[in-house]
Chains A and B, each alone.
Chain A
Amino acid sequence: MKKSCKNFVLAATSAAILAGVAGSAQAANWLFLQGTERPGAAPRAKVWGFIQPEYQSTVDTKLKAGPWKGQKAVFNQSRPQLKTSSSFNVLRARIGVRGVAMPLDSNVNYFFLAEFGNNGITAGGGGAVKLTDASVTFNHMKGARIRIGQFKTPGSEEGLQAIHVFDYINFSNATNGLLLERFFNSDGSTQVGANKPNGSVSAFRDIGIQMFETFKVNNWEHSYAIMVGNGNGINRNDNNDNKELYAYWSSELVYGGKGPRRQGMKLFAWYQDGQRTLAAGPSQTVQNFDRMRSGLGFTYRKGKHRAAAEYINADGMIFTGTDGAALPGAVSNNGALTASWNMATKGKADGWYVHYGFAPTPKWEIDFRYDVYNRLTNSTLGERKFDTATLGLQYFFNKKTRVTINYEFRNADAPGYAGSSPVNQILDSLDDRVSFNVLAIF
């Protein structure tokens, strides 16, 4: 906890310095958009939601080397079942209610959202419908609003932003690998079973309590959030006594507009720290392991131009995919091994992305993103580098309905090995990916 406090102070100081030096800001205030309602002008219950069918495809290149050579590669399969390389899917289908329970009292508002789609939230077992958000916000203390329940944690822009305004179909590699947390009972170091996730992915959410506020100074909005959560995913209670600590700061120069597509420029920094409990090592001893994430970045939106960049740093537990990049549960060609999901319990990683979008007309938007993820930078032989260039096209039928097409040029390599090594041959099996989805908000 001492370490957590020290790190928190460092992060908060860094954020404060950054905010003081930078002088820019964001395109949308997610803390307020998701956690509050318009005072005196909010309904008792507003029903809303969105539907997001998609199609994803790769050419399904088989593993080129290793114990599972010739078998399906996990990274070429469609989420979340990983059984085919091309599939239609209703990725997200959410419906929710939000508002002020008593319209006369704007000091208390609520947010409720459930997921009916087929994704990492619902595919983890326990039912086809899962709660994603259920929170109550108390606005009595200006300067220290309180939100309690299950909701998005104050952190990375890619995770914190409303998913229905996300410009791409898949997350960047670093966000997917480091922030979209999977929870396991074991680190997967023993070859017993597939070591499948023990529940939903985090969906960038946690259960806990958050203090937050936005301070307006002329055209600037300065926001902070501090949160304490379980750090054990959604729809279940904690599995250890260590709580997750989150800190967030943003400063935004607002150009105009309102809502999630408000025009502005934002600088932000965030930090989270906690521990995870799982069985690790040859003896599979249950232990606690540190998990720290931090990041900083900016977003920009004005007129026809949109841009964003973010750097993400990780220390502690790192999700490392499956053995030999085979499907989880797949038996090796010699019958001796079973591929499982793995976690490095003490690792380091970092990554970043840059994004630029141009909307020549209100109907069309062209997007480009380049992202890099360096996994296990503390290990010469364990390090993997993923980089992806994504070309995107969006067509807006109206403000609530759009179609998105993405083509991802994907590449991965192991810098600690020769290019011709089996490890790099396996990584060479990674295909480009084409995908499209439709989004309808109601």
Chain B
Amino acid sequence: MKQIISRIMAVMLAVGLFAGMTQQAAAEKAFAEKKIVLQISDPNPFKQTLVLNVANNLIKYYGMDRVEIEIVAFGPGLRLLFEENANASRIQGLVDSGVRLSACKNTIRNMGKKLGHPPALNKNAVKVSAGIVRIIELIDKGYVLVKP
């Protein structure tokens, strides 16, 4: 009986370790050669298209396993990460290719005051304390900042 229990525990441990590795792989690509942070803080809607195009072109050039991309949105650029955004299907395609999305909490709070409620965000967006701080953190980790 003890033998069976220990075997089950060993299997569970192995499964747990594997799952943990998988999650880590999703967050940080083990074979990434390039790390790019894309900043969007501009009110011009064309900039949204430009940022998405750049992300797409980077993935096409390097391959989705060879490049890490995080889009950091703050200020008027946060509209890119609104749930209702007209580019939602393109954004989802990039997320499926491993692109991460960060939304500035300061901007969310300020927009919430103007709207009367916090804006509904893309379900893939991760809230960060401040967009600019997130960019500095990523630069410290070796990311290259690009502001299309």
Contacts and interface: CB of A to CB of B under 8 A. Distances in A.
A38 B86 contact: yes
Nearest to B45: A41
Given A103-B76, A103-B79, A38 B111 contact: no
Contacts of A102: 114
B41 interface: no
A102 B86 CA distance: 16
Nearest to A107: B84
A164 interface: no
Contacts of B84: 39-40, 106
Contacts of A38: 45, 86
B115 A104 contact: yes
B45 A104 contact: no
Contacts, number: 38
Interface residues of B, number: 17
A39 B111 contact: no
B80 to A, nearest CB: 7
Contacts of A103: 43, 76, 79
Interface string B84-119: 111100000000000000000000000100110001
Contacts of B3: none
B82 interface: yes
B48 interface: yes
Nearest to A37: B86
B140 to A, nearest CB: 31
A42 B119 contact: no
Given A44-B43, A103-B43, A39 B86 contact: yes
A104 B107 CA distance: 11
Nearest to B43: A103
B85 A41 contact: yes
A38 B85 CA distance: 7
A40 B43 contact: no
A227 B114 CA distance: 33
B44 interface: yes
A40 B115 contact: no
Contacts of B45: 38, 41-43
B44 A104 contact: no
A106 B84 CA distance: 8
Interface of B: 43-45, 48-49, 76, 79-80, 82, 84-87, 111, 114-115, 119
9 contacts: A38-B86, A39-B86, A40-B79, A40-B86, A41-B80, A43-B45, A102-B114, A104-B114, A106-B84
Given A38-B86, A41-B87, A42-B45, 10 more contacts: A39-B82, A40-B87, A41-B48, A43-B45, A103-B76, A103-B79, A104-B79, A104-B115, A104-B119, A106-B82
